[in-house]
Amino acid sequence: AQTVTQSQPEMSVQEAETVTLSCTYDTSESDYYLFWYKQPPSRQMILVIRQEAYKQQNATENRFSVNFQKAAKSFSLKISDSQLGDAAMYFCAYRSGGFGKLIFGTGTRLQVFP
Amino acid sequence: GAGVSQSPSNKVTEKGKDVELRCDPISGHTALYWYRQSLGQGLEFLIYFQGNSAPDKSGLPSDRFSAERTGGSVSTLTIQRTQQEDSAVYLCASSLASSGNTDTQYFGPGTRLTVL
């Protein structure tokens, strides 16, 4: 079975600084997708970034980028120029290529200080 | 366009009562998912529907839980004889499809269920 591990329950960063959230996963599959979701206090899960396992290039969305290390099964999220609005729970998620359900990590709570 | 909506936003019920939670997916999305988010168990998959295929019910924790999707759109998650351990936030998500590049799941705001 696939598993997703987020080893940092909480992280904090100063506004305008950079922070990296860690995620590792375990799978024997070759076709899969990885996601980072943000969950603010409003509860709504918002997709931050996605990565297809077959793509070697790391995904980037504005201030958010990932470091995808397929051999190490690592998928970290880097947030540059952190803003107060980035404060939220961040979940790493895995999805098999052929099946729809997401498998989530336990989340990392990010605090941003002015 | 409108996102995924869920109702009610909050539901308080007494142990032993039945509850129904509703999800309206994004129009045109063929795949619909239910997840449960609780302090003890984190985010768990419950069930998903893909078009007219038989739903994947592998995540339902007991036979007290059931879900249906009528007309390929609205879905209802029903919990019978609620127990205190059912207290959680129930999240619904939808996507254009369940595989490939159209698989991005968009989530609703969730229903917070409290069982007294």
Amino acid letter, residue A7: S
Residue B93 pLDDT: 95
What is the per-residue pLDDT across A38-53, written as a single tens digit (0 to 9) for each?
Answer: 999 888 899 999 998 8
Contact B44, B36 (CB under 8 A): yes
Q: What gap in Å lies between CA B56 and CA A71, rounded to an integer?
A: 30
**Does position A33 have pLDDT exceeding 80, yes or no?**
yes
Say if A9 is an interface residue toward chain B (CB within 8 Å).
no
Which residue among B50, B104, B110 places its CB closest to the CB of A47? B104
Contact A64, A48 (CB under 8 A): yes
Which chain B residues are within 8 Å of A91, Cβ to Cβ?
43
Strand locations in B14-116, DSSP E? 19-24, 31-38, 42-50, 65-69, 75-79, 88-95, 106-107, 111-115
Q: What gap in Å lies between CA A102 and CA A91, rounded to an integer?
A: 11
Mean pLDDT computed over every residue of chain B: 91
Mean pLDDT for B56-69 is 94
Residue B36 pLDDT: 97
Mean pLDDT for B38-53 is 88
Residue B64 pLDDT: 97
**Does position B42 have pLDDT exceeding 90, yes or no?**
no
Residue A97 pLDDT: 80
Where residue A11 falls among pLDDT bands split at 50, 70, 90? very high
Chain A interface disruption, residue of B69, B98, B102, B103, most A CBs within 10 A: B103
A71 Cβ neighbours under 8 A, 6+ residues apart = none
Residue B47 pLDDT: 96
**Does position B98 have pLDDT exceeding 70, yes or no?**
no
Cα dihedral across residues B80, B86, B88, B91: positive or negative: negative
Q: What gap in Å lies between CA A11 and CA B25, rounded to an integer?
A: 33
Rounded to the nearest 10°, the torsion over CA B86, B92, B98, B102 is: -150
Tokens 């999240």 map to which residue? B91
B45: Cα separation from own chain's centroid:
9
What is the per-residue pLDDT across A45-94, written as a single tens digit (0 to 9) for each?
Answer: 999 999 988 888 898 889 999 999 999 999 999 999 999 999 999 999 99
Beta B111-115 vs B10-13: how paired, if at all?
parallel
Q: What is the largest CA-CA distance in chain B?
A: 42
Report the length, in residues, of chain B: 116
Q: What gap in Å lies between CA A37 and CA A60, rounded to an integer?
A: 14
Which residues 51-70 of B have a C-beta within 8 angstroms of A? 56, 59
